Structure 1
Amino acid sequence: MATMNLKERVEAHSVWWLLSALLAGFLAGLATYSGILRIASLHVVSQATFDRLEENAGDPSDNGGDTVVAQREALRRRLDAEISRRLGVFLGDLALWQFSLQSSNQLRAAAEWRQLEVGLFAPPATSGAVSNVYPEFRKTGIKELFDRVASISPPPEQLEIERAMEELSQVERIMAQASLRIEDPGTSSQRVLEAISRNPAFERWIGARP
Protein backbone atom coordinates (compact mmCIF):
# COMPACT_ATOMS: atom_id res chain seq x y z
CA MET A 1 0.00 0.00 0.00
CA ALA A 2 1.41 3.35 -1.09
CA THR A 3 2.15 5.92 1.57
CA MET A 4 0.04 9.09 1.29
CA ASN A 5 1.84 12.41 1.32
CA LEU A 6 0.67 15.40 3.39
CA LYS A 7 -1.34 16.94 0.57
CA GLU A 8 -3.23 13.72 -0.03
CA ARG A 9 -3.88 13.28 3.67
CA VAL A 10 -5.34 16.80 3.92
CA GLU A 11 -7.51 16.25 0.87
CA ALA A 12 -8.70 12.91 2.19
CA HIS A 13 -9.58 14.27 5.61
CA SER A 14 -10.32 17.92 4.82
CA VAL A 15 -13.09 18.28 7.41
CA TRP A 16 -10.91 16.88 10.18
CA TRP A 17 -8.00 19.18 9.28
CA LEU A 18 -10.29 22.21 9.11
CA LEU A 19 -11.74 21.51 12.54
CA SER A 20 -8.23 20.95 13.96
CA ALA A 21 -7.04 24.30 12.54
CA LEU A 22 -10.05 26.11 13.97
CA LEU A 23 -9.51 24.51 17.39
CA ALA A 24 -5.81 25.39 17.36
CA GLY A 25 -6.62 29.01 16.41
CA PHE A 26 -9.23 29.29 19.16
CA LEU A 27 -6.85 27.91 21.81
CA ALA A 28 -4.07 30.26 20.68
CA GLY A 29 -6.42 33.25 20.83
CA LEU A 30 -7.67 32.26 24.27
CA ALA A 31 -4.10 31.92 25.56
CA THR A 32 -3.20 35.35 24.17
CA TYR A 33 -6.29 36.94 25.73
CA SER A 34 -5.53 35.37 29.14
CA GLY A 35 -1.94 36.58 28.92
CA ILE A 36 -3.02 40.16 28.19
CA LEU A 37 -5.41 40.15 31.16
CA ARG A 38 -2.63 38.86 33.42
CA ILE A 39 -0.04 41.39 32.24
CA ALA A 40 -2.43 44.35 32.50
CA SER A 41 -3.89 43.15 35.85
CA LEU A 42 -7.40 43.24 34.39
CA HIS A 43 -10.43 41.26 35.52
CA VAL A 44 -13.44 40.09 33.55
CA VAL A 45 -16.83 40.98 35.05
CA SER A 46 -20.35 40.38 33.85
CA GLN A 47 -22.42 43.18 32.32
CA ALA A 48 -24.71 43.12 35.37
CA THR A 49 -21.74 43.58 37.72
CA PHE A 50 -20.36 46.39 35.57
CA ASP A 51 -23.73 48.18 35.58
CA ARG A 52 -23.94 47.88 39.37
CA LEU A 53 -20.44 49.28 39.83
CA GLU A 54 -21.25 52.17 37.51
CA GLU A 55 -24.43 53.02 39.44
CA ASN A 56 -22.62 52.86 42.78
CA ALA A 57 -19.82 55.16 41.65
CA GLY A 58 -21.80 58.20 42.83
CA ASP A 59 -23.52 56.49 45.74
CA PRO A 60 -22.12 57.60 49.15
CA SER A 61 -23.23 54.29 50.70
CA ASP A 62 -20.75 52.43 48.47
CA ASN A 63 -17.02 52.37 49.21
CA GLY A 64 -16.31 54.04 45.89
CA GLY A 65 -18.88 56.70 46.76
CA ASP A 66 -17.11 57.28 50.07
CA THR A 67 -13.92 58.01 48.16
CA VAL A 68 -15.70 60.46 45.88
CA VAL A 69 -17.25 62.26 48.85
CA ALA A 70 -13.88 62.43 50.62
CA GLN A 71 -12.21 63.85 47.52
CA ARG A 72 -14.97 66.43 47.12
CA GLU A 73 -14.65 67.47 50.77
CA ALA A 74 -10.88 67.79 50.44
CA LEU A 75 -11.31 69.99 47.37
CA ARG A 76 -13.86 72.12 49.22
CA ARG A 77 -11.41 72.66 52.09
CA ARG A 78 -8.66 73.68 49.65
CA LEU A 79 -10.99 76.11 47.88
CA ASP A 80 -12.07 77.65 51.20
CA ALA A 81 -8.44 78.04 52.27
CA GLU A 82 -7.56 79.64 48.94
CA ILE A 83 -10.46 82.12 49.14
CA SER A 84 -9.62 82.93 52.77
CA ARG A 85 -5.99 83.58 51.89
CA ARG A 86 -6.82 85.88 48.98
CA LEU A 87 -9.37 87.90 50.93
CA GLY A 88 -6.95 88.21 53.83
CA VAL A 89 -4.10 89.40 51.60
CA PHE A 90 -6.41 91.87 49.88
CA LEU A 91 -7.69 93.34 53.16
CA GLY A 92 -4.13 93.72 54.41
CA ASP A 93 -3.04 95.46 51.20
CA LEU A 94 -6.12 97.67 51.30
CA ALA A 95 -5.34 98.76 54.88
CA LEU A 96 -1.78 99.63 53.84
CA TRP A 97 -3.10 101.59 50.87
CA GLN A 98 -5.39 103.59 53.14
CA PHE A 99 -2.52 104.26 55.55
CA SER A 100 -0.23 105.54 52.78
CA LEU A 101 -2.95 107.51 50.98
CA GLN A 102 -2.10 110.77 52.73
CA SER A 103 1.54 110.65 51.66
CA SER A 104 0.96 109.40 48.09
CA ASN A 105 0.32 111.62 45.11
CA GLN A 106 -2.83 111.13 43.06
CA LEU A 107 -1.24 109.25 40.18
CA ARG A 108 0.58 106.82 42.45
CA ALA A 109 -2.52 106.24 44.58
CA ALA A 110 -4.59 105.52 41.44
CA ALA A 111 -1.98 103.08 40.11
CA GLU A 112 -1.82 101.25 43.43
CA TRP A 113 -5.61 101.13 43.58
CA ARG A 114 -5.67 99.48 40.18
CA GLN A 115 -3.11 96.95 41.43
CA LEU A 116 -5.38 96.18 44.38
CA GLU A 117 -8.29 95.57 42.02
CA VAL A 118 -6.27 93.31 39.73
CA GLY A 119 -4.71 91.52 42.69
CA LEU A 120 -8.11 90.56 44.08
CA PHE A 121 -9.97 89.56 40.92
CA ALA A 122 -7.32 88.36 38.46
CA PRO A 123 -5.64 84.93 38.78
CA PRO A 124 -2.29 85.13 40.62
CA ALA A 125 -0.51 83.84 37.51
CA THR A 126 -1.80 86.91 35.64
CA SER A 127 -1.62 89.57 38.35
CA GLY A 128 1.74 88.47 39.75
CA ALA A 129 0.30 88.64 43.26
CA VAL A 130 1.65 86.12 45.76
CA SER A 131 -1.74 85.39 47.26
CA ASN A 132 -2.38 81.75 46.47
CA VAL A 133 -2.04 78.82 48.86
CA TYR A 134 -2.25 75.96 46.38
CA PRO A 135 -0.35 76.00 43.04
CA GLU A 136 -3.31 74.31 41.34
CA PHE A 137 -5.28 77.58 41.70
CA ARG A 138 -2.64 79.97 40.35
CA LYS A 139 -4.59 80.34 37.11
CA THR A 140 -7.97 80.65 38.81
CA GLY A 141 -9.59 83.99 39.67
CA ILE A 142 -11.41 84.48 42.96
CA LYS A 143 -14.86 84.55 41.33
CA GLU A 144 -14.20 81.19 39.73
CA LEU A 145 -13.08 79.85 43.13
CA PHE A 146 -16.46 80.86 44.54
CA ASP A 147 -18.21 79.20 41.58
CA ARG A 148 -16.32 75.96 42.14
CA VAL A 149 -16.89 75.79 45.88
CA ALA A 150 -20.60 76.50 45.33
CA SER A 151 -20.86 73.67 42.78
CA ILE A 152 -19.63 71.03 45.28
CA SER A 153 -21.37 72.33 48.41
CA PRO A 154 -24.74 71.19 49.85
CA PRO A 155 -27.79 73.29 48.79
CA PRO A 156 -28.04 75.32 52.05
CA GLU A 157 -24.38 76.34 51.75
CA GLN A 158 -24.81 77.14 48.07
CA LEU A 159 -27.26 79.90 48.98
CA GLU A 160 -24.73 81.43 51.40
CA ILE A 161 -21.95 81.24 48.81
CA GLU A 162 -24.15 82.79 46.13
CA ARG A 163 -24.85 85.67 48.51
CA ALA A 164 -21.12 86.17 49.02
CA MET A 165 -20.65 86.12 45.24
CA GLU A 166 -23.24 88.88 44.85
CA GLU A 167 -21.44 90.96 47.47
CA LEU A 168 -18.14 90.33 45.70
CA SER A 169 -19.65 91.59 42.44
CA GLN A 170 -20.70 94.75 44.29
CA VAL A 171 -17.11 95.17 45.52
CA GLU A 172 -15.90 94.79 41.95
CA ARG A 173 -18.28 97.53 40.80
CA ILE A 174 -17.14 99.89 43.58
CA MET A 175 -13.49 99.36 42.71
CA ALA A 176 -14.12 99.81 38.98
CA GLN A 177 -15.92 103.11 39.61
CA ALA A 178 -12.99 104.35 41.67
CA SER A 179 -10.55 103.29 38.95
CA LEU A 180 -12.56 105.31 36.43
CA ARG A 181 -12.57 108.31 38.82
CA ILE A 182 -16.36 108.10 39.13
CA GLU A 183 -15.93 107.91 42.89
CA ASP A 184 -13.11 109.02 45.15
CA PRO A 185 -10.79 106.06 45.90
CA GLY A 186 -10.55 107.05 49.56
CA THR A 187 -14.33 106.80 49.93
CA SER A 188 -14.42 103.64 47.84
CA SER A 189 -11.75 101.96 49.93
CA GLN A 190 -13.84 102.38 53.08
CA ARG A 191 -16.90 101.01 51.32
CA VAL A 192 -14.92 98.01 50.07
CA LEU A 193 -13.45 97.39 53.52
CA GLU A 194 -16.89 97.37 55.12
CA ALA A 195 -18.39 95.31 52.28
CA ILE A 196 -15.92 92.49 52.99
CA SER A 197 -14.56 92.64 56.53
CA ARG A 198 -17.86 93.48 58.24
CA ASN A 199 -20.17 91.56 55.97
CA PRO A 200 -21.75 88.35 57.38
CA ALA A 201 -21.64 86.87 53.87
CA PHE A 202 -17.85 86.50 54.16
CA GLU A 203 -17.65 85.18 57.73
CA ARG A 204 -16.96 81.68 56.43
CA TRP A 205 -13.64 82.87 54.99
CA ILE A 206 -12.50 85.76 57.19
CA GLY A 207 -14.50 85.29 60.38
CA ALA A 208 -16.51 87.91 62.19
CA ARG A 209 -14.70 91.23 62.45
CA PRO A 210 -15.61 94.08 64.87
Structure 2
Amino acid sequence: MDDTPPLDATLNQVLTAHARIRSDLRSQVEAISMREQELKALLEDCLVRRAKIQEQERALDTTEALYRKMLGTNADGGVGQLAISVAIGAKDAEPQKPPRARIGPQRYQMFIALRTFENLSRHEIAEVTNLSEKRVRDQMVSDLQSGFVYERGAEEKLSLTPAGLSLLERFEAYQKLRGKKLAQLGDATDDADEQAETDNDDASGQTSLPSSLLDASWKE
Protein backbone atom coordinates (compact mmCIF):
# COMPACT_ATOMS: atom_id res chain seq x y z
CA MET A 1 0.00 0.00 0.00
CA ASP A 2 1.38 3.44 -0.99
CA ASP A 3 1.57 5.81 2.06
CA THR A 4 2.72 8.83 0.00
CA PRO A 5 0.41 11.81 0.72
CA PRO A 6 -1.49 13.26 -2.23
CA LEU A 7 0.30 15.96 -4.19
CA ASP A 8 -2.36 18.53 -3.28
CA ALA A 9 -1.79 17.96 0.43
CA THR A 10 1.98 18.30 0.02
CA LEU A 11 1.57 21.55 -1.92
CA ASN A 12 -0.74 22.94 0.75
CA GLN A 13 1.82 22.14 3.44
CA VAL A 14 4.57 23.91 1.48
CA LEU A 15 2.39 26.96 0.82
CA THR A 16 1.35 27.16 4.47
CA ALA A 17 4.97 26.99 5.61
CA HIS A 18 5.98 29.64 3.09
CA ALA A 19 3.13 31.90 4.22
CA ARG A 20 4.42 31.73 7.80
CA ILE A 21 7.95 32.51 6.64
CA ARG A 22 6.75 35.42 4.48
CA SER A 23 4.78 36.84 7.40
CA ASP A 24 7.86 36.66 9.61
CA LEU A 25 9.99 38.34 6.95
CA ARG A 26 7.46 41.16 6.54
CA SER A 27 7.48 41.70 10.30
CA GLN A 28 11.25 41.97 10.23
CA VAL A 29 11.13 44.50 7.40
CA GLU A 30 8.56 46.59 9.28
CA ALA A 31 10.74 46.55 12.40
CA ILE A 32 13.77 47.62 10.35
CA SER A 33 11.77 50.44 8.72
CA MET A 34 10.65 51.73 12.11
CA ARG A 35 14.22 51.63 13.39
CA GLU A 36 15.41 53.41 10.25
CA GLN A 37 12.94 56.25 10.84
CA GLU A 38 14.06 56.55 14.46
CA LEU A 39 17.70 56.77 13.39
CA LYS A 40 16.90 59.36 10.71
CA ALA A 41 15.12 61.53 13.26
CA LEU A 42 18.05 61.15 15.65
CA LEU A 43 20.53 62.08 12.91
CA GLU A 44 18.51 65.16 11.92
CA ASP A 45 18.38 66.26 15.55
CA CYS A 46 22.15 65.84 15.86
CA LEU A 47 22.75 67.86 12.69
CA VAL A 48 20.54 70.71 13.89
CA ARG A 49 22.16 70.77 17.33
CA ARG A 50 25.66 70.71 15.85
CA ALA A 51 24.76 73.50 13.42
CA LYS A 52 23.51 75.69 16.28
CA ILE A 53 26.70 75.11 18.26
CA GLN A 54 28.82 75.95 15.23
CA GLU A 55 26.83 79.16 14.69
CA GLN A 56 27.40 80.17 18.31
CA GLU A 57 31.14 79.52 17.97
CA ARG A 58 31.34 81.55 14.76
CA ALA A 59 29.40 84.38 16.39
CA LEU A 60 31.92 84.43 19.24
CA ASP A 61 34.83 84.51 16.78
CA THR A 62 33.25 87.34 14.78
CA THR A 63 32.49 89.41 17.87
CA GLU A 64 36.00 88.90 19.24
CA ALA A 65 37.53 89.93 15.91
CA LEU A 66 35.45 93.10 15.85
CA TYR A 67 36.48 94.09 19.36
CA ARG A 68 40.12 93.44 18.50
CA LYS A 69 39.75 95.68 15.47
CA MET A 70 37.94 98.45 17.36
CA LEU A 71 40.36 98.44 20.29
CA GLY A 72 43.54 97.93 18.29
CA THR A 73 44.31 94.63 19.99
CA ASN A 74 47.68 93.11 19.06
CA ALA A 75 48.36 89.44 18.36
CA ASP A 76 49.34 88.74 21.99
CA GLY A 77 46.01 89.91 23.29
CA GLY A 78 47.18 93.31 24.57
CA VAL A 79 44.95 96.32 24.05
CA GLY A 80 46.50 99.29 22.27
CA GLN A 81 45.05 102.63 21.33
CA LEU A 82 41.75 102.82 19.51
CA ALA A 83 42.18 102.07 15.79
CA ILE A 84 41.12 104.95 13.57
CA SER A 85 40.60 104.31 9.87
CA VAL A 86 40.18 107.95 8.83
CA ALA A 87 43.37 109.08 7.08
CA ILE A 88 45.29 112.11 8.41
CA GLY A 89 44.63 115.16 6.30
CA ALA A 90 41.11 114.11 5.33
CA LYS A 91 39.46 116.60 7.66
CA ASP A 92 37.84 118.43 4.78
CA ALA A 93 36.50 115.26 3.20
CA GLU A 94 32.76 114.82 3.29
CA PRO A 95 31.80 112.29 6.01
CA GLN A 96 30.26 109.11 4.67
CA LYS A 97 28.16 106.53 6.44
CA PRO A 98 29.38 102.97 5.97
CA PRO A 99 27.12 100.84 3.78
CA ARG A 100 25.12 98.43 5.89
CA ALA A 101 25.53 94.73 5.30
CA ARG A 102 21.83 93.90 5.16
CA ILE A 103 20.30 90.49 4.55
CA GLY A 104 16.54 89.91 4.80
CA PRO A 105 15.30 87.22 7.23
CA GLN A 106 14.47 84.69 4.50
CA ARG A 107 17.72 85.25 2.63
CA TYR A 108 19.57 84.93 5.94
CA GLN A 109 17.97 81.50 6.44
CA MET A 110 19.26 80.42 3.02
CA PHE A 111 22.76 81.73 3.72
CA ILE A 112 23.11 80.01 7.11
CA ALA A 113 21.78 76.79 5.58
CA LEU A 114 24.50 76.94 2.90
CA ARG A 115 27.14 77.77 5.49
CA THR A 116 26.02 74.92 7.77
CA PHE A 117 25.61 72.17 5.16
CA GLU A 118 27.96 73.66 2.50
CA ASN A 119 26.46 72.00 -0.60
CA LEU A 120 22.68 71.98 -1.04
CA SER A 121 20.22 71.80 -3.90
CA ARG A 122 17.42 74.34 -4.12
CA HIS A 123 14.98 71.69 -2.90
CA GLU A 124 17.20 70.90 0.10
CA ILE A 125 17.52 74.59 0.97
CA ALA A 126 13.74 74.90 0.93
CA GLU A 127 13.41 71.87 3.21
CA VAL A 128 15.88 72.96 5.90
CA THR A 129 14.67 76.59 5.91
CA ASN A 130 10.91 75.90 5.68
CA LEU A 131 10.72 78.28 2.72
CA SER A 132 8.99 77.68 -0.60
CA GLU A 133 11.10 76.38 -3.47
CA LYS A 134 9.98 79.35 -5.59
CA ARG A 135 11.30 81.79 -2.97
CA VAL A 136 14.60 79.90 -2.88
CA ARG A 137 14.91 79.75 -6.68
CA ASP A 138 14.21 83.47 -7.08
CA GLN A 139 16.78 84.43 -4.43
CA MET A 140 19.44 82.08 -5.77
CA VAL A 141 19.10 83.59 -9.26
CA SER A 142 19.96 86.98 -7.79
CA ASP A 143 22.80 85.70 -5.59
CA LEU A 144 24.34 83.69 -8.43
CA GLN A 145 24.41 86.83 -10.59
CA SER A 146 25.87 88.87 -7.70
CA GLY A 147 28.62 86.33 -7.04
CA PHE A 148 27.53 85.45 -3.50
CA VAL A 149 26.66 81.85 -4.47
CA TYR A 150 28.09 79.41 -6.99
CA GLU A 151 26.62 76.23 -8.48
CA ARG A 152 28.25 72.91 -9.28
CA GLY A 153 27.45 71.91 -12.87
CA ALA A 154 25.53 68.68 -13.24
CA GLU A 155 24.96 68.25 -9.51
CA GLU A 156 23.12 71.59 -9.24
CA LYS A 157 24.46 71.95 -5.71
CA LEU A 158 24.81 75.49 -4.37
CA SER A 159 27.51 76.86 -2.05
CA LEU A 160 28.48 80.25 -0.66
CA THR A 161 31.37 82.01 -2.36
CA PRO A 162 33.98 83.81 -0.22
CA ALA A 163 32.08 87.02 -1.00
CA GLY A 164 28.83 85.46 0.18
CA LEU A 165 30.40 84.16 3.37
CA SER A 166 31.94 87.58 4.00
CA LEU A 167 28.57 89.29 3.53
CA LEU A 168 26.96 86.85 5.96
CA GLU A 169 29.62 87.34 8.62
CA ARG A 170 29.49 91.14 8.25
CA PHE A 171 25.71 91.08 8.57
CA GLU A 172 25.92 89.00 11.75
CA ALA A 173 28.55 91.31 13.19
CA TYR A 174 26.39 94.32 12.32
CA GLN A 175 23.36 92.76 14.01
CA LYS A 176 25.38 92.06 17.15
CA LEU A 177 26.62 95.64 17.29
CA ARG A 178 22.98 96.72 17.19
CA GLY A 179 22.13 94.31 19.99
CA LYS A 180 19.93 92.16 17.76
CA LYS A 181 19.49 88.44 18.34
CA LEU A 182 20.41 86.27 15.36
CA ALA A 183 17.78 83.90 14.04
CA GLN A 184 18.35 80.14 14.10
CA LEU A 185 18.08 77.83 11.11
CA GLY A 186 14.45 76.93 10.51
CA ASP A 187 12.95 79.88 12.42
CA ALA A 188 9.76 81.40 11.01
CA THR A 189 10.58 84.36 8.77
CA ASP A 190 8.89 87.21 6.95
CA ASP A 191 10.92 89.57 4.77
CA ALA A 192 8.39 92.31 5.55
CA ASP A 193 9.77 92.35 9.09
CA GLU A 194 13.18 93.42 7.77
CA GLN A 195 11.71 96.40 5.91
CA ALA A 196 9.80 97.51 9.01
CA GLU A 197 12.96 97.22 11.07
CA THR A 198 14.90 99.26 8.50
CA ASP A 199 12.27 102.00 8.55
CA ASN A 200 12.41 102.13 12.33
CA ASP A 201 16.20 102.43 12.29
CA ASP A 202 16.12 105.28 9.80
CA ALA A 203 13.41 107.13 11.71
CA SER A 204 15.18 106.81 15.06
CA GLY A 205 18.54 107.92 13.63
CA GLN A 206 20.50 105.08 15.21
CA THR A 207 24.26 105.01 14.61
CA SER A 208 24.99 102.02 12.43
CA LEU A 209 28.65 101.35 13.32
CA PRO A 210 31.53 102.85 15.33
CA SER A 211 34.00 105.04 13.44
CA SER A 212 36.69 102.36 13.65
CA LEU A 213 34.73 100.25 11.19
CA LEU A 214 34.41 102.92 8.51
CA ASP A 215 36.48 101.15 5.89
CA ALA A 216 36.02 99.38 2.59
CA SER A 217 35.67 95.96 4.18
CA TRP A 218 32.03 96.72 4.92
CA LYS A 219 31.11 97.28 1.32
CA GLU A 220 29.20 94.53 -0.41
| TM-score using structure 1 length | 0.33
Larger helix percent: 1
* Structure having greater relative contact order (Cα 8 Å, sep ≥ 6): 2
Q: Which has the larger radius of gyration?
A: 1
| TM-score using structure 2 length | 0.32
